[in-house]
Amino acid sequence: MSDRQQVSIYSGEEEVLSAVVELRAAGFRILEVFAPYAVHGLERAAGLRRSRIGLITVTAATIGSLAFYFFQDWVAAISWPVNIGGKPYSSAPAWIPVVFETGVLAAGLATVLALFVRSRLYPGKRARLIDPRVTDDRFAVVLEIPDSGFDVERAREICARHGAESVEETAVPESGKKPRKPHVSSLEVWR
């Protein structure tokens, strides 16, 4: 991966959506799209595959439910069998509410943990924004600039045609260090 990227800032969701579609069609690699709110269709336009978080959630719920079911069965029938009112030792219908709640708990915890791991969120991590306005009212598209074969002018022209407010070339910050300042080559595109 190169140590340079191109960042273009947009003011509306229609502009960023059409720019992403055309940039992908032209063969540019989109690293990230920042938006202040969810934009319908942006994931598909950017080429993101479907999330696998549902698979993690269902797997954790199944494992949690089965583990607690067998734990209750082991306690009631093997480890500490107590005859209460002539009921059988292994009385599964009485355990269904607890098994369900344990499955929900396991699913919730695994989903949150998977989110933190996948997003690389950990205590003390400092946020690095491409542009502070992306949390308010602007959208940003980040393109990877490979070491060779990147047509800077064509990328700028596509971004400008779709209403980019600014197009800048920046350096990718190294992990654990503060981001470097943008390169001198910066182009402001006005409508």
- Residue 162 has what pLDDT? 92
Residues 131, 100: Cα–Cα separation, whole Å: 44
Q: What is the pLDDT of residue 9?
A: 93
Identify the pLDDT of residue 135.
81
DSSP code for 78: I
Tokens 């990718």 found at: 172
The model carries a pTM of 0.66
Of 145, 153, 147, 56, the C-alpha closest to 106 is 56
- pLDDT tens track of the chain, all 191 residues? 567 889 999 999 899 999 999 999 998 989 889 888 889 988 889 888 888 999 999 999 999 999 999 999 999 888 888 887 887 888 888 889 999 999 999 999 999 999 999 888 888 888 777 778 888 889 999 998 887 778 888 999 999 999 999 898 887 765 544 444 443 333 333 33
E strand or H helix at 97, and its extent?
helix 96-118
